[in-house]
Chains A and B, each alone.
Chain A
């Protein structure tokens, strides 16, 4: 169980580091750099890339 928890902490630590830095903003554009917005936009981009590169595997299995 401990190994699993350490593993989960290791894979999520880059994102928690990112979240700690996203909220101290002092201009309108930087306020948009809320952690959820950043992750959502990044996830959308990655989803597009995955669909583009793995199209054959996903839709023609």
Chain B
């Protein structure tokens, strides 16, 4: 241990490399959080400004600013950790890589989904089907009714029949399996959404805002089919359009 300490004390280049490496670890974590979470980016910019004004106050020896800004600067980092903690925890908890085989769906699965959706659209049966991508939907699935069933047109239609105990909430699909039914999502707060869109549409948009999943929504009132992805809602007029969309989404 003494040898290592002496080595770094006598060798400035080694000391610079070690110093740079240690700082790089923490700075890359901060840059990653700042780019991934908007809140952290905003907090970082505010922190830099407070740091700048603090330095200005210290350099120009401004007594009031010096006291105020040094107080804020000292407690700022801890406050940021408390404010951004829920988002940071969500990132640490999320499974970042899903087995690509598990996520991919066969052509028969995609066809079954499309056929079921358009049949339910004709019958004006409301439906909410979420296809998982990289972001895990386990936190929604664990509170829902577990199924782990193979996908078929008939099963999907049966789930959403009005008096079925499974019809309330959404279905989560992972690869070629129905993971669960009766999954509830947080509704979107987006006020630009058409007022005629009900809670089913709002739930579909809501889940697409917080994950990279694709949600198919069938309206109970009009039978219209929409797809919600990254907070946007896109109308699907034909089976071919929906099939292309699902194929390119799963292929990503």
Give the interface of A toward B (CB within 8 A).
11, 14-15, 18, 20-27, 29-30, 32-33, 37-39, 41-43, 45-46, 49-50, 53-54, 57
Q: How far is the CA of A23 from the CA of B32 in the complex (A)?
A: 11
CB contact under 8 A between A46 and B24, given known A22-B36, A25-B212: yes
Q: A11-B21, A50-B20 are in contact. Are A32 and B230 (CB under 8 A)?
A: no
With A21-B96, A26-B211 already in contact, the answer to whether A42 and B35 are too (CB < 8 A) is: no
| Closest chain B CB from A6 CB (angstroms) | 17
Query: In the complex where A26-B135, A49-B23 touch, is A38 in contact with B32 (Cβ < 8 A)?
Result: yes
Asked if A42 and B16 sit within 8 Å, CB to CB, the answer is no
How far, in angstroms, from A29 to B41 measured CA to CA in the complex? 10
Minimum CB–CB distance from B191 to chain A (whole Å) comes to 18
| Interface-central residue, B32, B91, B97, B231, by most chain A CB under 10 Å | B32
Cα A41 to Cα B33 in complex, Å, equals: 12
B16 touches A45 (CB 8 A): no
Q: Are B31 and A22 in contact (CB under 8 A)?
A: no
Instruction: Give 10 A-B contacts (CB < 8 Å), ordered by A residue.
Output: A11-B21, A21-B96, A25-B36, A26-B211, A33-B35, A39-B28, A42-B27, A45-B31, A50-B16, A50-B19
Nearest CB in chain A: distance from B227 CB, A: 15
| Pair A32/B134 contact, Cβ less than 8 Å | no
**Interface presence of B25 (CB below 8 A):** yes
Contact of B162 with A by CB under 8 A: no
Q: Are A26 and B212 in contact (CB under 8 A)?
A: yes
Partner of B28, one of A15, A23, A26, A57: A15
Taking CB as reference atom, which chain B residue is nearest A54?
Answer: B16
- Asked if B36 and A33 sit within 8 Å, CB to CB, the answer is yes
CB distance from B208 to the nearest CB of A (A): 8
**Which A-chain residue is minimally distant from B37 (CB atoms)?**
A30
A24 touches B25 (CB 8 A): no
**Complex Cα distance A29/B23, Å?**
24
* Cα distance, A32 to B31, chains bound together (Å): 11
